[in-house]
Structure 1
């Protein structure tokens, strides 16, 4: 109990207060001025205030609520109704406090995740650098042509892996709409051929083949490294979804100011996944799957002014990635 506005401010600043029931007509400092001080102080701004006053004009009620009060009760107040309103606002204040604590925890977890990602990127660079140096040493030796080609592919893959590690924060920027793509013309067919070779090597034990006949003009307008990540994910997903010994067909079709890359693999997307194929964290039945592959495919296509769509029927799944062309 406080007998003045000044005393109310002293109590609110000194003790934990859940709710303030505040009269308006008080000497020296009225209820409006008291509320104004409460809401301007970070220590007390969160405390819900209910005005209780004989002043029941519309201007008084609107004025009280505009100061930040959660409710306005006119005198004489029915005790049962007043208690019900107090209980309601106490419950709301408790819920808001819980939400704030959850939000603070989410922010803390996000910072922790960013720290882990930074440490992971740092730790991954060392083994990838060793792989890169080893492949370069092999290329400097007298190797037969097939082994030299494999060593060269290892070198390119290690270089791309280092580049992708350095750009993992770009995904976060894409999600927030802060990523600005630097679009440049490049040969999409050469990139697709390189990714197809690397995918076949990665899935040698399952005898996955990728059939890609490059058309004449495949000059794409985009970021080559971003497209490398995009199609590495797309080819990997197609290979994982295909049965052993299957052939994945890749076609490039020209459009109006665009190129459409169609990746056709055997196997249909499960019914439960079709409506959320591109959703973040959506996965079904894949061991170790995190549901980020197709999500990142569409995200990376979108920031380059393109798109990604999926059709599945007749025992096949067709992923179409559309990108701008010159």
Structure 2
């Protein structure tokens, strides 16, 4: 500090004063004394200034410390909010995933219970429009008339409140039992403290249409307040409402499809009766050649097959939904192949093709049998689709082979020399996958896959330009004794229509 203010050292002034006093030099004494006083004053001023600077520094340090404490508190608040938002986001993300997995109204109870657990809620309630959802009887949800839903929402939220959710104390709800169910108000202590979130669900295609109301209740009075944001909750509620609408629309479409198929089957059976009756009438007149009798047999067989296909159309639909109940028996594949060969004789002859059957590594012989466990007509449909596809995809003059092999599984493989187009190889067994066929529907391989999986079998396709295409169905081996299989095979053969020919 002395260097800063540049004043003389006090010790030097004192020494000069002593010398002046010893020489009794009054002028010198006075001058030394004056300089000493000036030095002391300068030192005192410097000390005072230093103390003032120190005090200011201490005040500045204290202010900085307080600012640091405030910043730490604010930062902690921000971090806590971020972590809380992130945790809430994760919970809502999981809840949205649960809703997205909903496939039918029957999943609603599990979805609501999962939401309740994820969000740690005391109660979750779903009200739906009775006029729209009563025919489906959705479990886990309560029903109310659309007018009652609108009236209760209007009573809860004034017109100026907008279409958003209600968030506040449960005491502010005029009729809690309407939103949360009968008996909810029995827990008085909880109701006096809790808070709730009540949100109207809208139809995503018609936002003005009210679907229902989703309500959350929590014992914490600060969980849902008008000051807090509700973006996550409202977004989740919208997704739940949209999913319910989608599930319901799909249910309506399924019912409509069933009605149309039922009417179609009924309408098709009437003209089919004439197709089945006509061969019998022609045979009564006699005077038919062997070739004509064969043609009538083919026509009658095709009619019976069409009748079976009509009856099985609903079964295939049930397989799609995974609700088909299989009634399996031991079925010999070889008589089925005989009937398919006779039915497809026209396709075989038109393209100069041949249909070979190989049983356990050698050409088929009389007395051979190859039995799997399943339903005869379903197996007939599956193999007919696969063989017909193979014949249509085979180059003219080639041979289509059906190979029956027994190992760890019972394998039925259909091979042709043609290759599956690259555009459909990855989706060969999917619905409506077709290429290169003018009238192809893309349902043959798809139906075969449904039937195979319904029988607990695995189906696979391998194709290349060099080796052609092979579709293999691998059935699990039955556990019945060999002699029981033989007896069952004999009885099963009698169920098929008479073979029209052998390929």
Instruction: State the TM-score, normalized to the length of structure 2.
Output: 0.51
Which position in structure 1 is the counterpart of 2:268? 124
Whole-angstrom CA distance in 1 between matches of 2:327 and 2:268: 26
User: Offset at 1:155?
Assistant: 1.4
Report the secondary structure of 1:264's partner residue.
Answer: strand
CA separation of 1:132/1:11 partners in 2, compared to 1, >3 Å: closer, same or farther? same
Question: 1:281·1:292 contact (CA, 8 Å) conserved in 2?
Answer: yes
CA–CA separation in structure 1 for the residues paired with 2:432 and 2:172: 51
CA contact (8 A) 2:261 2:314 kept: no
Q: How far is the alpha carbon of 1:229 from its aligned partner?
A: 0.7
In 2, distance between residues paired with 1:129 and 1:214?
A: 36
> Which protein has the bigger helix share?
2
- Provide structure 2 residue ranges, at least 5 long, that are not aligned to the other structure: 1-150, 183-198, 202-211, 358-362, 479-484, 486-503
Deviates more, 1:174-183 or 1:93-102: 93-102
1:189 aligns with 2:334: yes
Task: Tell me the SS of whatever aligns to 1:167.
Answer: helix
SS at match of 1:317: strand
Measured on the aligned residues, the alpha-carbon RMSD in Å equals 3.5
Please show how residues 193-212 of structure 1 align to structure 2 within 5 Å. Answer: 193-202=338-347, 204-212=349-357
Query: 2:179 is matched with which residue: 38, 55, 58?
Result: 38
Is residue 251 of structure 2 the alignment partner of residue 107 of structure 1? yes
Instruction: Report the secondary structure of 2:474's partner residue.
Output: strand
Post-superposition CA distance 1:91-117 (Å, at most 9, x none): 554554444444433333222222221
Aligned to 1:227: 379
* CA offset digits 1:239-285 (Å, max 9, x no partner): 222223332111212234x5322111121122332232222333334
Asked if the contact 2:157–2:166 (Cα under 8 Å) also holds between the matched residues in 1, the reply is no
Query: How far apart, in 1, do the equivalents of 2:444 and 2:469 lie?
Result: 15
Secondary structure of 2:220's match? helix
Question: 1:270/1:20 Cα in 2 relative to 1: closer, same or farther (>3 Å)?
Answer: same
1:59–1:271 distance in 2 versus 1, CA, 3 Å: same
Q: Which residue matches 2:167?
A: 22
1:287 to 427, 438, 459: 438
TM-score by structure 1 length?
0.75
1:214 aligns with 2:364: yes
Q: Deviations over 1:27-59 (max 9, x none)?
A: xx6158965542439x968445688xxxxxx95
Contact in 2 for aligned 1:20/1:47 (Cα 8 Å): no
After superposition, the C-alpha distances for 1:136-190 in whole angstroms (9 at most, x for unaligned) are 2344433222332232122122112112211211112223332222222233111
Unaligned runs of 5+ in 1: 1-6, 52-57, 65-71
Measure the CA separation in 1 of the matches of 2:356 and 2:271.
32
Shift of 1:291: 2.5
Larger radius of gyration: 2
Q: Are residues 1:299 and 2:450 paired?
A: yes
- Cα deviation, residue 319, structure 1: 1.0
CA contact (8 A) 1:50 1:73 kept: no
What is the Cα deviation at residue 198 of structure 1? 1.2
**For residues 237 and 321 of structure 1, do their structure 2 counterparts lie closer, same or farther at Cα, with a shift above 3 Å needed?**
same
Asked if the contact 1:210–1:249 (Cα under 8 Å) also holds between the matched residues in 2, the reply is yes
Aligned residues, how many? 293
Shift of the 300–110 alpha-carbon distance from structure 1 to 2, 3 Å rule, reads same
Is 1:254 the equivalent of 2:406? yes
How far apart are residue 87 of structure 1 and its match?
5.3
